[in-house]
Amino acid sequence: MHGAPSGHALALIVRISVRFAQFVKSNSFYRHQNGCVLASLRNSGATVHAILAAGASASTRAFAQLLARMPSAVPGLLYGLRLWASVCLALYVAYWLELDNPFWAGTSAAIVCQPQLGASLRKGWFRMIGTIIGAVVSVVLVALFPQDRVLFLAALAVWGAACAFATTVLRNFAAYAAALAGYTVAIVAAELLGDVGGVNANAAFLLAVTRASEICIGIACAGIVLGLSDLGGAPRRLAAQFAELATGIISGLVGELASAGHEHADTQTARREFTRRVIALDPIIDESLGESSRLRYHSPVLQSAVDGLFAGVAGWRVVANHLLRLPPEAARQDAAVILQNLPPELRSLPRYGATTHCTTDPVGLYWTCESAMRLLFALPVGTPSLRLLADKAALAMSGLMGAFNGLALLVADPTRPVPRGRVSLRVPDWLPALVNAGRAFVVISAATLFWIVTAWPGGTGLILFATVIVLLLSPRAHQAYGAAIVFMVGAILDVILAAIVAFAVLPALATETYAAFSIVLGFCLVPMGALLVLARQPWQVGMLTAMTLLFVPLLAPTNPVTYNTVQFYNQALAIVAGASTAALSFRLLPPLSPQYSTVRLLALTLRDLRRLASGHGPRDWEGRIHGRLSAMPNEAALLQITQLVAALAVGHEIIRLRSMMQRLGAEADLEPALAALAGGESARVTAHLARLDAALAGRVDERAASETVLRARGSIIVLAEALTQHAGYFDGGGPNEVR
């Protein structure tokens, strides 16, 4: 491709992608996540079946079957066109600016271009941040070690370890930015060191700026193409999930009260599933923030909504456990009182079935929950048991207020602002981050040592791609090894495809026009993107993702085109060797197993709970435990999740009880129970709590004090029930069976 590529060719590529997207949307075909399910084709299923049933010819039947499959293929086809247009636009701009290695712009566009608009924009933003940080660090390292290759490479390994630590501690796209900051330094270092390993300090600044510019060009081009061809839909999907979870929690709580706890086994499984679904909201929240600046500004509202859903499940759990332990008649009477004091809108909400009512009037439901919370909190009762049920139902209503407030934000209704407060980093466990940092240091150091000993010309590529894969896959914990193997398989398939294109297809075209080159890219990238969207198995997604990301750097288009087989196979071997090194590192230095991670999370929570009992616990107790709930592996048993939720409830009651006993002037009466809890003696705790409950029952005070006494006695009941049910866990021994 001599000279700058033709603008007509590029305009044609972008126009095809954009016009196809506009066609899909303008004909009312735009459906499903960010996709384009052809409604008219989807509704033609009856016609297709009629053709097949009528005994049509083989060609007609084949066409009818193809027609029936088209709706599900359109989202993938549209994504493939976007991917193709993004890469071609990025390469065009890089060629026009006559940058050294334009393929970095195309590679960045392929990486940033995601099937979901919000994910693409959010990923592009954080990729830009990580790239700039990495470029700055590259210049700093060269300035510190301008003539010392060993110290420079050692500093590279240390920086990679620090970035691996950050990728594990941070979440979602912030973790991706940390990984980018790590391997951007490796990209610049590979260029500076060359084949012989001498640090070219004079070229460091210009090279860092050039590489950062190429990457930012790719990010910008992908953002332009996606912005023109995709309207996004993450906030709408998040709103539907918020509505479904909130109504499900209300339905569960109302059903629990209606059955007076008789369906405990079924609702326990339902609560576990709700907890898992709330945990899974994190990625889609990040996608929604990527699509809307308004949501980013009000992000505390969404975090409060997630915490509110956790609180709703926690209140439901305490109500269910207490009703189970009451005599049947007393349980029915107390449950009936609470149920009668819930507004009719909430009692009848389960009859709606769908979530339409929630999404059309979230503000009305917010005020309904607030009214229920106030009514339950002020409900005059005469027993601590009924006080407990009223307070925990009020706690659930308070949490659901936050959920409906977040839902109102998503559907553009008036929203009550949430104070931003201090931003806290919720780290469930520091050990996985330390393990990943150590592994990254060892991998980068080993790759560096191998290159120094062998003087292999592709050694810098080995260092680069080993760094890239170990940083990107480390946060995936026990899945990292399998993902690395799949990535390596995808890299090998990409090597074969890129070799065919570079040494067979492009030379056979006998032309160096940009249009011809773009068409060849389209024949490769469009099917890759389409298959990636249609993939359902994890190995398929991993393999196709690797092929999508590595195709452009393997092809390494230059201006003019060069056909250097030695350079190509050195680069290909470096990529495969880097992937193999990373996979081997995950086997030799394995991450924490799901079972061990679960045990550690429970042990750390128990340690923090005992510190809380002794008066030295964390300030943000609920936030910390919510973080650990989010980090619980999918393999965790029902009992282990229940124990963590029980610890959350016990800590909450300790904080409440300590405050109430201070108002009653009886702090000293509570201390023996808390000291026994800090010592892991649940039997002594329950004995002290029983004596404290008897002492409080004998108090005759004014009405305000009597309300506090009832609430304190209700908290004592919650503590005693949780400690009895999970005595083995709170004593530090083996877990009990959940009844």
Q: Is 695 found in the same domain as 577?
A: no
CATH label of the domain that carries residue 347? 1.20.58
Q: Is 181 found in the same domain as 307?
A: no
pLDDT at 555 over 70: yes
Measure the CA–CA gap between 365 and 230, rounded to whole angstroms. Answer: 32
Q: Are 444 and 557 in contact (CB under 8 A)?
A: no
Considering only residues 55 and 104, tell me which one the structure prediction assigns the higher pLDDT. Answer: 104
Question: In the Cβ-directed half-sphere of 282, how many Cα atoms lie within 13 Å?
Answer: 14
| Of 73-77, 404-408, 514-518, 567-571, minimum mean pLDDT range | 73-77
Residue 59 has a pLDDT of 53
Q: Is 707 found in the same domain as 578?
A: no
Residue 353 has a pLDDT of 46
pLDDT at 643 over 90: no
Residue 703 has a pLDDT of 53
Measure the CA–CA gap between 435 and 590, rounded to whole angstroms. Answer: 9
Dihedral sign of CA atoms 699, 701, 706, 711 in order:
negative
Whether residue 2 lies inside any domain: the answer is: no
Whether residue 506 lies inside any domain: the answer is: yes
pLDDT at 474 over 60: yes
Q: Is 226 found in the same domain as 136?
A: yes
Measure the CA–CA gap between 270 and 297, rounded to whole angstroms. Answer: 33
Whether residue 645 lies inside any domain: the answer is: yes
Which band of pLDDT confidence, cut at 50, 70 and 90, is reported for residue 30? Answer: very low
Burial, 583: exposed, middle or buried (Cβ in 10 Å; 0-12, 13-18, 19+)? buried
Instruction: Over range 643-654, report the average pLDDT.
Output: 88
| Of 254-258, 355-359, 416-420, minimum mean pLDDT range | 416-420
The model's pLDDT over 160-182, given as tens digits with 9 standing for 90+, comes to: 999 999 998 887 778 878 888 88
State which residues form the domain around 299.
234-401
Question: Could you say which of 588, 607, 635 is where a domain stops?
Answer: 588
Whether residue 620 lies inside any domain: the answer is: yes
Q: Is 172 found in the same domain as 200?
A: yes
pLDDT at 570 over 70: yes
From 501, 508, 496, select the one nearest 524 (Cα to Cα): 501
Give SS3 for 608: helix
Q: Are 234 and 295 in contact (CB under 8 A)?
A: no
Residue 231 has a pLDDT of 62
pLDDT at 257 over 50: yes
Q: Is 149 found in the same domain as 210?
A: yes
Which band of pLDDT confidence, cut at 50, 70 and 90, is reported for residue 198? Answer: low
Q: Is 384 found in the same domain as 342?
A: yes
Residue 561 has a pLDDT of 64
Q: Is 615 found in the same domain as 675?
A: yes
Instruction: Over range 255-274, report the average pLDDT.
Output: 75
Element of type H or E holding 316: helix 299-325
The model's pLDDT over 607-625, given as tens digits with 9 standing for 90+, comes to: 999 998 888 766 778 888 8
| Of 187-191, 291-295, 482-486, 703-707, minimum mean pLDDT range | 703-707
Burial, 265: exposed, middle or buried (Cβ in 10 Å; 0-12, 13-18, 19+)? exposed
Whether residue 418 lies inside any domain: the answer is: no
Q: Is 310 found in the same domain as 239?
A: yes
Q: Is 618 found in the same domain as 504?
A: no
Report pTM: 0.77
Question: Could you say which of 534, 561, 588 is where a domain stops?
Answer: 588
Which band of pLDDT confidence, cut at 50, 70 and 90, is reported for residue 503? Answer: confident
Which band of pLDDT confidence, cut at 50, 70 and 90, is reported for residue 436? Answer: very high
Number of domains in the chain: 3
Residue 62 has a pLDDT of 54
Whether residue 108 lies inside any domain: the answer is: yes
Encoded tokens for 281: 């909201």
Q: Is 154 found in the same domain as 76?
A: yes
Encoded tokens for 280: 């899974």
For the chain, how many residues are written? 739
| Of 73-77, 109-113, 195-199, 721-725, minimum mean pLDDT range | 195-199
- Compute how many other C-beta atoms are within 10 angstroms of the C-beta atom of residue 307: 18
| Of 74-88, 255-269, 469-483, 582-596, minimum mean pLDDT range | 255-269
Q: Is 241 found in the same domain as 337?
A: yes
Whether residue 413 lies inside any domain: the answer is: no
Mean residue pLDDT of the chain comes to 78
Whether residue 407 lies inside any domain: the answer is: no
| Of 37-41, 121-125, 404-408, minimum mean pLDDT range | 37-41
Residue 356 has a pLDDT of 60
Instruction: Over range 97-110, report the average pLDDT.
Output: 82
3-state helix, strand, coil in the chain (%, to 5): 80, 0, 20
Question: Could you say which of 537, 562, 588 is where a domain stops?
Answer: 588
Residue 441 has a pLDDT of 94
